[in-house]
Copies of this chain bind each other. A is one copy, B any other.
Amino acid sequence: MNHDIVTIGEAMLRLWVPTGERLETAPSFRVAVAGSEANVAMAASRMGARTAWVSSLPDNALGRRAAREVAQHGVDVDHISWSDEGRMGLYFIELSGPPRPVAALYDREHSSMASMSSSDVEWPVLESARIVHISGITPALSDSARSLSIDVVRRSRAAGAMVSIDVNYRRKLWEPDECAKTIAVMAEYADLLITSTEDARDVFGFDGTPEAMLRDLQGLAGTSRVVLTAGADGAFWLDGLESGSAAGYVAETVDRIGAGDAFAAGTLVGLLDGDLSGGVERGTAMAALKLGIYGDQLSVTREEVDRVIEGHSREVSR
């Protein structure tokens, strides 16, 4: 089977507590699976795309848990590299509201994915995909992951796949300038570059209006297709000279983690249809829906997204 979208990156077990509880004192941690690229694959699969997720996992109960949870959303997990070395990456999350930020405590060093190298990848899976998607987290994991990431975008592009990159800066993993430099290299092969306004400013030093930022990003990428997310203010896109935006939604937030990945998935699904504008619009609705759902994954149906876009009105559907 050829895939519409293949993503590559690390999955972690997310051990978390809801708003009001603390990691230091909670009697139990809820368990989920997370990872930017896996999230994108799952959300895109739920929109109807044929997706695969490529990664390296330890061959133990935690690694199996990750693979099975991703598979559950319809993603092909048959191309994972199972490793006897390395551990399952973990991260601990306390959901919260202002004035306390949502705090992530990463424990992902020495993970199987951090030591994955190009020789562990089933390249035909990526090379036959319509879109290959990767985030800026993967090159930040380790030196070998950085080489792997560059290989991924280079070989995928060479094989004819469209390449999508989401900057997704993580300051607990690397410095802004390291990120900027690496993304610059990878963006040479990109057909689509997505970033948040925050990252555009903190990593690349861009500022000004969204339009200005988009033009700056266009200068960076090997493509003229760039997308800028602005949280509750929606998203903005530039495709060559064409541009547009999608308005944000009023949304009740229980868990903001994963909203960016939901957005990326929607955008990619639009890209598959040759409709970046529609993709950005869909992504914006998906990000808004994600805020109301616990966990990194956007567990919704395509119909639910459509209804949000169309703006149905009753507060209770019965």
Contacts and interface: CB of A to CB of B under 8 A. Distances in A.
A80 interface: no
Contact of A62 (B65, B92, B315): B92
Contacts of A25: 65, 295, 299
Contacts of A103: 317-318
B65 A24 contact: yes
B29 A27 contact: no
Interface in A1-49: 15, 18-31
A92 B61 contact: yes
B30 A31 contact: no
The prevalent SS among residues of A at the interface is: loop
A158 interface: no
Contacts of A312: 101
A285 interface: yes
Given A23-B65, A73-B68, A256-B315, A105 B60 contact: yes
Interface string A62-98: 1011001101111000000000000110101010111
Interface stretch (A128-136, A205-213, A272-280, A286-294): A286-294
Interface in A233-253: 249-252
A20 B297 CA distance: 12
A252 B97 CA distance: 5
Interface stretch (A106-114, A119-127, A174-182, A184-192): A106-114
Which of the four size classes fits the interface of chain A? 35 or more
A15 B24 CA distance: 13
**6 A-B pairs with the lowest CB-CB distances in the bound complex, closest first:** A97-B252, A27-B27, A104-B318, A20-B254, A20-B294, A72-B72
Given A24-B64, A98-B251, 8 more contacts: A28-B29, A28-B30, A29-B31, A62-B105, A99-B249, A100-B292, A103-B318, A257-B316
30 contacts: A19-B292, A20-B294, A23-B61, A23-B65, A24-B64, A24-B68, A27-B27, A60-B105, A61-B94, A61-B105, A69-B72, A72-B72, A88-B107, A90-B90, A96-B252, A96-B292, A97-B254, A97-B292, A99-B250, A99-B289, A100-B304, A100-B308, A101-B307, A101-B312, A102-B317, A103-B317, A104-B317, A109-B110, A256-B315, A257-B316
